[in-house]
Amino acid sequence: MLKIIGAGLSRTGTASLQQALQTLGLSCVHFDHARLEDVLDGSNTDPDFRRYDDVDAVVDLPAAYFYRELLAAYPASKAILTLREVHAWWKSVSVHFNVTAPVPEHPRLLHRIASKAGYTRKYDKFDAIRRRLRNYVYGSPHATEFLYKKKFVEHNALAAATIPSDRLLVMDICAGDGWEKLCPFIGAPIPSTPFPHNHRATIEPALVEH
């Protein structure tokens, strides 16, 4: 049953939070777009957000964008809002979204050209999901500084102001917040291992939105 909802946006230490929660014995999914695909593509006009009964926690987008719906669907759950200094966040997200894992400018045309050349992109459907998600959250699939910073600040301010204080933990993992904040919030003993700082690289970076 879902206990923890990560309300922090991508590039705020969400992969580190996932690893920390798993170290504490919680099952946690990160960037789990598949369960909310029907919401993102508009095919479900009245979605039931009670769809995480099989895990203890979910972090990163798209769940972070729908934290209010998930908190309502799981009234016993709590939220963790991971923050980051806005200029450092922009530097990270702009590189990730525009360089490391961009979405194609014209995905259908690109797919047709690639198919004629005998090459099929492995992540055509995933490109569409990422495009919808980035439009939802930031207003553009391509990171633009003013718009993305504005959306980032507004998301964090709204979450901090609207989530009841007894259900909310605010963490700046990038600034050093760790076990001393997380463990009391979820009622777990502090491990002897260092808090994870997972800025992972992958040979398939388009699959990672953290």
In a domain, residue 92? The reply is no
What are the angstrom distances between the C-alpha of 198 and each of 13, 20, 142, 152, 207?
7, 10, 24, 21, 15
Domain that holds residue 154: 4-86+150-207
Strand-strand pairing, 4-6 and 57-59 = parallel
110-144 as b/e, with b when 16 or more CB fall inside 10 Å?
Answer: eeeeeeeeeeeeeeeeebbbbbbbbeebbeebebe
Confidence tier at 79 by pLDDT (50, 70, 90):
very high
56-90 as b/e, with b when 16 or more CB fall inside 10 Å?
Answer: bbbbbbbbbbbbbbbbebbeebbbbbbbbeeeebb
- The alpha carbon torsion through 99, 109, 39, 51 (nearest 10 deg) reads -70
Question: How many folded domains does the chain comprise?
Answer: 1
**Is the Cβ–Cβ distance between 52 and 74 less than 8 Å?**
yes
In a domain, residue 105? The reply is no
In a domain, residue 161? The reply is yes
CATH of the domain at 13: 3.40.50.300
pLDDT tens-digit map of 128-159: 899 999 999 999 999 999 999 999 999 999 99
pLDDT tens-digit map of 50-68: 999 999 999 999 999 999 9
In a domain, residue 113? The reply is no
In whole angstroms, give the CA distance from residue 208 to residue 210. Answer: 6
In whole angstroms, give the CA distance from residue 101 to residue 204. Answer: 9
Residue 126 is predicted with a pLDDT of 82
In whole angstroms, give the CA distance from residue 106 to residue 120. Answer: 15
pLDDT tens-digit map of 28-42: 999 999 999 999 999
For 89: left if phi > 0, alpha if psi spans -120 to 50, otherwise beta; the answer is alpha
Helix (H) or strand (E) holding 13: none
